[in-house]
Chain A
Amino acid sequence: MTNSISEIEDADCVFIIGSNTSSSHPLVATRIFRAKKKGARIIVADPRTIQISSLADITVRHKLGTDVALLNGIMHVIIQRGWHNVSFVEERTEGFEAFSKGIENYPPEKVAEITGVDAGDIVRMAEIYAKAETGSIVYCMGITQHTTGVDNVKALANLAMLTGNVGRESTGVNPLRGQNNVQGACDMGGLPNVYPGYQPVNMMDIQKKFEKAWNAALSDKVGRTVPQMLTGLTDGSVKALYIVGENPIQSDPDTHHVKKALAAAELLVVQDIFLTPTAEMAHVVLPGTSFAEKDGTFSNTERRVMRVRQAIDPVGDSRPDWQIIQEVSNRFGYGMDYSSPEAVMREIASLTPSYGGITYERLEGEGLQWPCPHADHPGTRFLHEGMFSRGKGLFHPIEYRPPAETVDEEFPYWLTTGRVFAHYHTATMTRNSPTLDAEIREGYLEVHPDDADRLGVLQGDAVTVTSRRGTITAKTAVTDRVQQGLVFMPFHFIESNANVLTNPAHDPVAQIPEFKVCAVKLEKAPL
């Protein structure tokens, strides 16, 4: 997030797009509820009706994968009516000319046809957001999990820059990170192209710095992303995969393809706390510990680094993951001798400029939000004050591109996937929690009442759902939360694994798969 969670409650306008906030980030929803109470205008754009829609001043349900068109339409109105922030655009940005030229192709009437959103609503959304003193954009995987994920994010950045809603309190472009420590995993260099702190692996002076610190020769070749690893396993160029705390069999698109790839590994090592469907395929399983059995830190969606503290001894013979990795490394012949996670953090701080001022002692209390470059730095609540990372903010002209797969005669329904409030990701933990399991026991398919009629199914009847990649069976939940022609499934439940169906086509830059859009056909399942 450019800004902090608590700042949202003081925004004049909150624009929520592609985030089912009250289900997936409930404590961010708290701030949106408060903003509403304090008088903020709320805009919700989501293909489904979500809980937070009910308190919105305007809510639109655009067609799957039409975010760029919708956002361009909004910006078209803003520029046409002169609602943009001229001084911000002049002083803080560049590339406006080319960008605004591109936007000319997106009048609201045309956008209405692409998105299914009423042209008048597009004008109202533009007016509410552009005229707010402080407008905060909140988005999540509904924006990013598309073949146009990067375009979608850039379009949001354009919108914030156009209206000067960035670099100030209670504004910004605020992605809600899904996993508790996905921010930290990225910060720590859990990416194939960067060392900790987003320092590129292919820059000579950076490579030298790490070679010296780690006392090892390092590769300047950018590594493989997850989809490339799977392809590598299939074509034989990758022989071994070491997985820590992930469950790609259930979390990655096109499960059959993932299974085939993992089955081809000569060595599959899985380190986890439960025997997940992925661990079941491993050659060797190393039992790690949960967050309650070790010390360390997590970094949340607002870049706040916070302590994780050991509450109990490791369960059974399981071991904290940092000890397992250290032991593997030592046996491999590369010495690691950390006495504690705190000792690891000292090394992280010494090599990662944005974490430079972070120590366990300073994390007591509220934690610290990076960038926190030195020991006296108080941390950073919001980014881009006065200047962007690259100097001036650059407008990117973005053209609308349809999703990789669209409906046709054979596969006439749009499928989108997401989360439910009582479960988490592949539900490895939540389905082992009796209270959460009792709240929602199984997967389901949300179907519009008219479509249910057409299929001849009632609430709770089983349907088979088939995409170009596979077939699953699920119970129906008949509801007008989805529009006609659209169906929704949570991906938490392995028995009706939505990712058997999803499309692995991915964004060319970020390589994020298009979980949010694919085409399916539905049939009433035989009893």
Chain B
Amino acid sequence: MIEKVRERVRDLLSSGEVKGFLGLSNKYGNTGPHLFCDAEDLDGLVIGDWKGPGDARYTLNKQLIHIVRKYPDDVFGVLVRGCDDRGLKVLYTWNQLNPEKVIPVGIACSQDLADACECRKPYPDDFVAGEKVEGRASDSVARLDALDVAGRFEAWLKEFSKCIKCYGCRDVCPMCFCKECTLEDDRLVNNGVIPPEIPVFHLTRAVHMVGRCIDCGLCNEVCPADIPLRTLYKKVADIVDEEFQYRPGQELYAKSPLNILMQPSSTG
């Protein structure tokens, strides 16, 4: 699998099609993001399977935004899985990245990873390595839905009470690119205390995931309190899909329902 990725990246770099390829590398005895600029130097390139499938995934799209903000005229390659591919579409739509300047190199996730993520589409539109496996709906959401409202609320309050307000869920999120963040607004969420106000902090963030969350699950993985944030945002995405038949990242330039709701006032 990795050989096919290497081959593609080698071609992109040696032909000069891309200035660099943002992928993952085994360096310092760990796996982390790395910008490959030399076609002859791809030995460390990996897809992020450390002890298990996909357990060393990173927000490469977010790092890509950092680079292109300074180098907007150059073309970069980036390693994408299904979720990252959805992320790219939303980021193109919101003008955070320019599709003409990004060449994704796709990999399809294994069944194990797709199951663990409860991913609906565990492969990008185009991929150079891996096999297409079936996506699936979420059992974790179904399990919570089975509880009555009071039980559900209590379960979430218990989870939120562990929050240490690291903002990691926001900081890692490839869809959180706002310059000003509501979570930091003292008028909405009191600053300076942990756990942050329950449930305002987490529900504010959940609302902001409407029409945004591409279900990569990285928020869940970075949470020091192991709060099942992915399940929360999956639920949000299910509601939006039900009401508006919209899932972020399914189609390029598809307008988020929030966007449509806002149109009358923005034109008026």
Chain A contacts to B: CB under 8 angstroms: 22-23, 26-27, 29-30, 33-34, 37, 51, 54-55, 307, 309, 364-366, 420-422, 438-440
Contact = CB atoms under 8 A, between A and B. Distances in A.
Contacts of A421: 164-165, 194
21 contacts: A22-B164, A23-B164, A26-B224, A27-B224, A29-B164, A29-B224, A30-B224, A30-B225, A33-B162, A33-B224, A34-B226, A51-B164, A51-B194, A51-B195, A365-B28, A420-B192, A422-B165, A439-B184, A439-B191, A440-B191, A440-B192
A421 B161 CA distance: 15
Contacts of B225: 29-30, 33
Given A27-B224, A440-B192, A366 B29 contact: yes
B157 to A, nearest CB: 10
Task: Pick from B162, B166, B195, B224 the residue with the most CB of A within 10 Å.
Answer: B162
Contacts of A22: 162, 164, 194
Contacts of A51: 161-162, 164, 194-195
Interface string B151-195: 000000000011011100000000000000000100000011011
Contacts of A440: 191-192
A438 B162 contact: no
A30 B226 contact: yes
Interface string B43-73: 0000000000000000000000000000000
Interface in B133-165: 161-162, 164-165
B169 to A, nearest CB: 14
B228 to A, nearest CB: 11
A54 B30 CA distance: 36
A339 B188 CA distance: 54
A444 to B, nearest CB: 9
Contacts of B30: 365
Contacts of A54: 161
Interface in B216-230: 224-226
A304 to B, nearest CB: 14
Contacts of A420: 192
A438 B184 contact: yes
Contacts of B195: 51
Interface residues of B, number: 16
A55 B29 contact: no
Contact of B192 (A55, A365, A439): A439
A193 B225 CA distance: 41
Interface string B102-122: 000000000000000000000
Contacts of A26: 164, 166, 224
Given A30-B224, A33-B225, A438-B191, A364 B164 contact: no
Contacts of B226: 30, 33-34, 37
Given A29-B164, A51-B194, 20 more contacts: A22-B164, A23-B164, A23-B194, A26-B164, A26-B224, A30-B224, A30-B226, A33-B162, A33-B226, A51-B162, A51-B195, A55-B161, A364-B29, A365-B30, A420-B192, A421-B165, A421-B194, A438-B191, A440-B191, A440-B192
B179 to A, nearest CB: 13
Nearest to B184: A438
Contacts of A364: 28-29
A27 B166 CA distance: 11
Contacts of B166: 26
B176 to A, nearest CB: 14
A33 B162 CA distance: 7
Contact of B28 (A55, A309, A438): A309
Contacts of B224: 26-27, 29-30, 33
Contacts of A23: 164, 194
Nearest to B227: A33
Contacts of A34: 226
Interface string B15-48: 0000000000000111000000000000000000
A489 to B, nearest CB: 14
Query: Which 6 pairs between the two chains have the least Cβ-Cβ distance?
Result: A365-B29, A364-B29, A440-B192, A30-B224, A26-B164, A22-B164
A23 B196 CA distance: 12
B153 to A, nearest CB: 16
Contacts of B184: 438-439
Given A30-B224, A33-B225, A365-B30, A55 B191 contact: no
Contacts of B165: 421-422, 439
B231 to A, nearest CB: 15
A308 to B, nearest CB: 12
Interface in B1-20: none
Interface in B221-258: 224-226
A29 B195 CA distance: 13
Contacts of A29: 164, 224-225
